[in-house]
Amino acid sequence: MKKLTALTALTLAVLSGLAHADRLDDIKKSGVLRVASFDSNPPFGFVDAKSKQIEGLDVDYAKAIADKLGVKLQLQPTNPANRVPLLVANKVDLVLANFTITPERAEQVNFSIPYFASGQQFIVKKGTLKSEADLNTWRVGVDKGTVNEGVLREKFPGAKVVAYDDTPFAFTALRNGNVQAITQDGPKLIGLLANVPDKDKYEVPPFTISNDLIGVGIPKGEARLTDVVNETLTELEADGKAQGIYDAWFGPTTKTPLTRLYKIGDKS
Amino acid sequence: MFGELLAPRFLHWLFDGFVLTLILSLLTCLVATGLGFALCLARISPSRIWSWPARAYLALFRNTPLLVQLFFWYFGVTALLPEALVMWLNQPRSLNLVLFEIEWPSFEFLAGFWGLMLYTAAFICEEFRAGVGSVRVEQRAAGLALGFKPAQVWRYIVFPQALRTALGPLLGQYMNALKNSSLTMAIGLAELSYASRQVETETFKTFQAFGFATLLYVASIALIEVIGQLIARSKWYRQGGV
């Protein structure tokens, strides 16, 4: 009897899974696309001080996907740890929250093609870095105990690595001339530079030495929904809207200008 | 029981850090002893021109945390120096010393040595002064009465006794200098503590990384202690040879 119950439960679970297997139809029927995104991680997703709404780069992409499906967008704030559970528990249809594509996550959720890449970059004094290879002989500051330190040693074995307790210390060392460059994730470096009084003296050279690809998180096995999201992203790049979204948050006129190095569809 | 040991590559990192710790501490102790002795002479001088600057130095260096002093020398002072000089200080180069070549130390090393040395010298000065204080004033008078010149009184009566009294505390200050050298990791000097943290980050073998560093520190402190014992037991010391 016990066995039978277990079997029934299993069958029901499988059947209910199948019944829900087409999320795309559900979304269209209900007319609402539920998307999880950050509400305190500018410029990816944050509550805008004026409009009191969640806005940001991730949100713009979510809007574009909702438009493509012809449905309303409903945003659900999340933190990093909840992104996978929200998808697995069917609480949301998509996650657009600076969601880095990793093999471990890909076992639990589907990922779209990447729509953004954040990579390890450098800040140097303007005009000092003539070529990437120069870094091999330079003194370069990093944050102690970060992945960045390992990547730097691997890519530039000749560089003299000086590790500091945090990024502001490393930046002070760069200002003083104790190191000639410091390295961190590009968006973080830009965020740091935004608050520096003499930021005109520094630049972030337009190359990365590692890439974290950011994709849309989709419930596992939703092939049709994944296709639609991929299609939408490819279209956005083709008609220039993706560039427009990027420029709105990282363009030359924003507080955090960062050269766009990755385009949707690029091989990394 | 403690998991795997560390790969040879990481032991090599730790060893490099240890060598740097030893060089830094040794240089610091040597120079700080000289400076501390000179400071002590200034501090006990009856002339205020000498004793007041020494008092000010002691107050400043003994009453502020070493970490803040290191930040001051490394981050604070370089912000004031002309850019060309900082560039020059940071350039890797070799010193050619006729017979062999040594690498010019990194700026982190120079700043770390400078900060640690000035700090240690203040404490060493006070140990010397305590030693001098332990020799009763009457002895100086007795020396003068016997026809010694003042300089001879210091050379033959006060200092030998003062140094004997100061030996124990002095070794204690050397141990402190060795342990304090770990603070220079905050200004990016790749000494033993820095190396152990780096090994920990790379391998996630937390116990092994910090355990090794601890052992090396304990061993070097023990070595100082043994040297102290040897000196105290030597015939030369027991017969008042200082």
Helices (H), chain B: 8-44, 48-62, 66-71, 77-80, 83-90, 107-133, 137-145, 150-152, 159-180, 192-203, 206-233, 235-238
Contacts of A144 in chain B (CB under 8 A): 197-198, 201
Contact B201 A169 (CB under 8 A): no
Is residue A264 a contact partner of residue A115, using CB atoms and an 8 Å limit? yes
Chosen for mutation from A140, A165, A175, A178 (greatest number of chain B CBs closer than 10 Å) is A178
How would residue B93 be classed by pLDDT, with cut points 50, 70 and 90? low
Q: Is the pLDDT of residue A2 over 60?
A: no
What pLDDT, on a 0 to 100 scale, did the predictor assign at position B6?
Answer: 83
Domains of chain A: 23-117+213-250 (3.40.190.10), 120-203 (3.40.190.10)
Residue with tokens 């060089």: B23
Give the mean model confidence (pLDDT) for residues B51-61: 96
What pLDDT, on a 0 to 100 scale, did the predictor assign at position B66?
Answer: 97
Task: Give the highest mean pLDDT range of A185-194, B185-194, B198-207.
Answer: B185-194
CA dist B134 and B123 (Å) reads 17
How would residue B242 be classed by pLDDT, with cut points 50, 70 and 90? low
Q: Is the pLDDT of residue B1 over 50?
A: no
Q: Is the pLDDT of residue A247 over 80?
A: yes
Cβ-based interface (< 8 Å): residues of A facing B? 139, 141, 144-145, 149-150, 160, 162-165, 169, 172-173, 175-179
Is residue A11 a contact partner of residue A18, using CB atoms and an 8 Å limit? no
How would residue A202 be classed by pLDDT, with cut points 50, 70 and 90? very high
Task: Give the highest mean pLDDT range of A188-202, B184-198, B199-213.
Answer: B184-198
Please write the tens of the pLDDT for every residue from B2-41: 567 788 889 999 999 999 999 999 999 999 999 999 999 9
Please write the tens of the pLDDT for every residue from A92-123: 999 999 898 988 889 999 999 999 998 899 99
Averaged confidence pLDDT in chain A = 88
Using the 8-state DSSP alphabet, how is residue B157 labeled? Answer: I
What pLDDT, on a 0 to 100 scale, did the predictor assign at position A65?
Answer: 95
Peptide bond into B105 cis (omega under 30): no
Q: Closest Cα to residue B199, out of B218, B179, B220, B216?
A: B216
| Residues whose CB is less than 8 angstroms from the CB of residue A186 and which lie 6 or more positions away in sequence, other chains included | A118, A119, A120, A121, A204, A208, A258
Is residue A79 a contact partner of residue A44, using CB atoms and an 8 Å limit? no
The ipTM, to two decimals, is 0.74
From B78, which residue of chain A is nearest by alpha-carbon distance? A176
Is residue B107 a contact partner of residue A179, using CB atoms and an 8 Å limit? no
Please write the tens of the pLDDT for every residue from B142-201: 999 999 999 999 999 999 899 889 999 999 999 999 999 999 999 999 899 999 988 887
Structure tokens at B44: 């006990």
Chosen for mutation from A162, A164, A201 (greatest number of chain B CBs closer than 10 Å) is A162
CA dist B3 and B67 (Å) reads 34
Structure tokens at B106: 């990194």
Domains of chain B: 8-86+102-238 (1.10.3720.10)
Handedness of CA A76, A82, A85, A89 (dihedral sign): negative
Per the DSSP assignment, residues forming a β-bridge with A73 are: A33
Q: Closest Cα to residue A138, out of A156, A163, A120, A150?
A: A156
| C-alpha distances out from residue B43 to B52, B125, B128, B132, Å | 7, 8, 10, 11
Q: Is the pLDDT of residue A233 over 90?
A: yes
CB pairs under 8 A between A and B: 44
